[in-house]
Structure 1
Amino acid sequence: MFYKTIVKDHIRVPPKLFGKPVESAILEQIKHEYDGFISKDMGIFIDVASIEEFSEGKIIPGDGATYYETTFSALTFKPEMQEVICGQIKDMADFGGFITMGPIEGMIHISQTMDDFVSFSKDKVLLGKDSKKSLKIGDKCKARVIAVSYKDVTNPKFGLTMRQKGLGRLDWIPEDLGQKKDEPGQKKGEKNNKD
């Protein structure tokens, strides 16, 4: 899920930025330090939105930089357990696929792709034996987050499943939910008068 996060931190502005307006220099340093930063508590920092407030600068003898106590807002992304995400399959392997979820990827094991026996083809496609469903690179899907690990904070791991109704490749979902597919020539969303 995406969040607007308020952060308070001491920001070090190096002497090379002293020629800029103070707020611009602070913002540049915050972006340098926080864009892409991963925190177990706050998630992945996508972008620093704005500086809310900052104190008068302080210089520490022997350092040369100025320090500002700063409060700023940032856009963060933190996948939550059981959250449903939409993404696109970025890569396939014999053990499953990788789906982009915002700024990161989640892994979906081959056993979690569909309720069927699934095989992996040499063309990097997952095929369902009975359902004849397939998944390939570029397919848009809905998946549920079933595992979140920040054991290595620089490389968090996210496990996904598509083995529930309403999940999977986007064109599977209406059929899984018992909705009829549009007949040839029928406009999308138009009711079928034959019923």
Structure 2
Amino acid sequence: MFYRMTIKDHIRVPPNLFGSTAEKAVLERIKSDYDGFISAKLGFAVDVLKISEIREGIIVPGDGAAYYETTFELLTFRPELQEVLLAKVRDIAEFGAFMTIGPADGMIHISQTMDDYVSFSKDKVLQGKESTRSLRVNDKCKARVVAISYKDITNPKIGLTMRQEGLGRLDWVKESKEAKAAEPKDTKPVSEAKKAKK
């Protein structure tokens, strides 16, 4: 899920940026410092939305840079357990598929790609045996987050599944909804249905 996070930090502005306005220099440094930033608390930093406050800069003896206590808003992406996300298949391997979900990548094991026996072809396609459904690179899907690990903060692991109803390649989801809508429904009132059983 995407969040707007308010951050308060001391931003170091090196002397080569002293010619710029404080706001421009601080914004440049925030973007540089938080580009690719990942943490278990914030998730994945996506962009700086706005700077709310820049306090007066201070210079620390022995360091030529100025430090500005700054309050700013970051747009972050933090996946949550059981969250359903739109994803795009980035790569397919023998053991499953790598999927892009926002600014992050997730992995879906071959057994979790569909409710079928799945085989891998050398053309990087996952094919269902009975359903004949296939999953290819660049397919757009709905997937559920089933595991998140920030053990290696530089490379967090996000586990996904598409075996549940309403998940999978987008055209599979559409077919499933249409098939469910076409099913005949018992329109008898409950009292009539009970009488019919007697």
Query: TM-score scaled to structure 1, two decimals?
Result: 0.90
Which residue of the partner structure matches residue 170 of structure 2? 170
Which residue of the partner structure matches residue 58 of structure 1? 58
Q: Which amino acid aligns with 1:90?
A: R
Shift of residue 61 of structure 1?
Answer: 1.0
Q: Which amino acid aligns with 1:110?
A: I
What RMSD in Å do the two structures reach over aligned CA positions? 1.4
Following the alignment from structure 2 to structure 1, what is the Cα–Cα distance between the partners of residues 154 and 20?
32
Q: 1:9 to 1:150 in 2, by over 3 A?
A: same
1:92 aligns with 2:92: yes
Greater share of helix residues, 1 or 2? Answer: 2
Which residue of the partner structure matches residue 191 of structure 2? none
Shift of residue 176 of structure 1?
Answer: 2.4
Between the two proteins, the alignment pairs up a number of residues equal to 182
Q: Secondary structure at the match of 2:155?
A: coil
Following the alignment from structure 1 to structure 2, what is the Cα–Cα distance between the partners of residues 14 and 130?
62
Which residue of the partner structure matches residue 134 of structure 2? 134
User: 1:11–1:69: 8 Å Cα contact kept in structure 2?
Assistant: yes
Following the alignment from structure 2 to structure 1, what is the Cα–Cα distance between the partners of residues 152 and 169?
30
Once the two structures are superposed, the pairs formed by residues 153-192 of structure 1 within 5 Å of their partners are 153-177=153-177, 179=179
Which residue of the partner structure matches residue 192 of structure 1? none
Which residue of the partner structure matches residue 21 of structure 2? 21
Q: Which one has the largest radius of gyration?
A: 2
Following the alignment from structure 2 to structure 1, what is the Cα–Cα distance between the partners of residues 93 and 161?
16
Q: Which runs of 5+ in 2 are unaligned?
A: 183-198
Q: Which runs of 5+ in 1 are unaligned?
A: 183-195
Per-residue deviation, residues 9-63 of structure 1 (Å, max 9, x unmatched): 0111100000001110011111110121001101010111111001111111111
Q: Which amino acid aligns with 1:75?
A: L
Once the two structures are superposed, the pairs formed by residues 94-109 of structure 1 within 5 Å of their partners are 94-109=94-109
Larger CA deviation: 171-180 vs 53-62: 171-180
Q: Secondary structure at the match of 1:71?
A: strand
Which residue of the partner structure matches residue 48 of structure 1? 48
User: 1:38–1:154: 8 Å Cα contact kept in structure 2?
Assistant: yes
Q: Which amino acid aligns with 2:170?
A: L
